[in-house]
Amino acid sequence: MERGALTPYEEKLTTRLKEILQLCRDVRAVFCCTNSGLPIASVGRGIDASLETLVSAMSAAIHRTAERLAYPKGTFEVTIIQASEGGLVLRERNTILLSALVKPHANLGLVLLALDSSLEKIVSLIDTEDLE
């Protein structure tokens, strides 16, 4: 789902996203976007690149809805949507949202572990890039 030549920054970011696919075979694709739905990067197995904008926007909308539902009950943690053909797992740190499209019956614990591990690195990378 990459688009032509990448800058060194984009390469580092894409490498972090590919780590998720390597850590967890249940993940079909990973989309990194802002919590307002602007796409940053994506990688995937057999996923059309044109989905990046759509998945990013829908992920942000789903995430905001879940946050509103969680607000009176406490701090929002994770959004998981399961369907017969797969699912969607959303995690957020700062203003960065990771969306993982997963296979049916995915090991969600492993998916969350992979997302959390990479999300910390991605947030660090983006924060560092913003300072330069």
The pTM assigned to this predicted structure is 0.85
**93: helix, coil or strand?**
strand
What is the pLDDT at residue 128? Answer: 67
Average pLDDT, the chain: 86
What is the pLDDT at residue 9? Answer: 81
Residue 82, number of CB atoms within 10 A of its CB: 14
**Distances in Å between the alpha carbon of 69 and those of 40, 57, 89, 95, 125?**
26, 19, 17, 19, 30
The owner of tokens 């057999």 is: 46
Q: What is the mean pLDDT of residues 43-50?
A: 79
What is the pLDDT at residue 25? Answer: 93
pLDDT per position as a tens digit, 19-36: 999 999 999 999 999 989
